[in-house]
Amino acid sequence: MATTNAQAPGGAAQDTSLFGRLFLRYTDEFYLLFRLIFAFIVSLHGAQKAFQMWGFPPPGSGPPGIVYVAGWIEFISALLIASGVLTRLGAGALCVTMVIAYFMMHFPNGIAPHIFPAEGGFTATGGEVSILWFAIAGIIGIMGSRKYGLERLILKKELL
């Protein structure tokens, strides 16, 4: 079946392929799944630091107090994002934490210190995770919880 573009309300082209129609029909459900997967990954990362488990902290991982606080912020932000309660606040806190993490832990090694050597490439400093999580949390902060969130279920609106 060939993909054709019909005019959507507002004059924008609308994807009429199978996946395009599925995404348009279940946008809120896909967004919920996206939020839950992201929050799960962030919660594990935060729990590792906050509860000092799974081999954490590794030697030379930075000032322990700051790393511990960052872990709690990540863990609580993940719970807020997943539950849909104060989603934008949780996402904003995570954005700030990722900026601090990048500039304190990853940027001092340079933007990309190992691009060509065999020591691990661009990912050797781990900074790409901070940048990616900043971007994802920023998108979630802009969009909020949308249709599926405890705040909307209980209060019929988002507070922030």
Counting the structural domains of the chain, the total is 1
Per the rule left: phi > 0, alpha: psi between -120 and 50, beta: everything else, 29 is alpha
CB 58 within 8 A of CB 48: no
- Structural domain including 82 reads 26-107+126-155
Q: Could you tell me if residue 160 is inside a domain?
A: no
Can you give the pTM of this predicted structure?
A: 0.81
Q: Could you tell me if residue 103 is inside a domain?
A: yes
Q: What is the pLDDT tens value at each position of the chain, 160 positions in all? A: 455 555 555 556 677 899 889 989 999 999 999 999 999 999 999 999 898 888 777 666 666 788 899 999 999 999 999 999 999 999 999 999 999 998 888 776 655 555 544 455 556 667 888 999 999 999 999 999 999 999 999 999 999 8
Q: Count other Cβ atoms within 10 Å, centred on residue 30.
A: 13
Q: Could you tell me if residue 149 is inside a domain?
A: yes
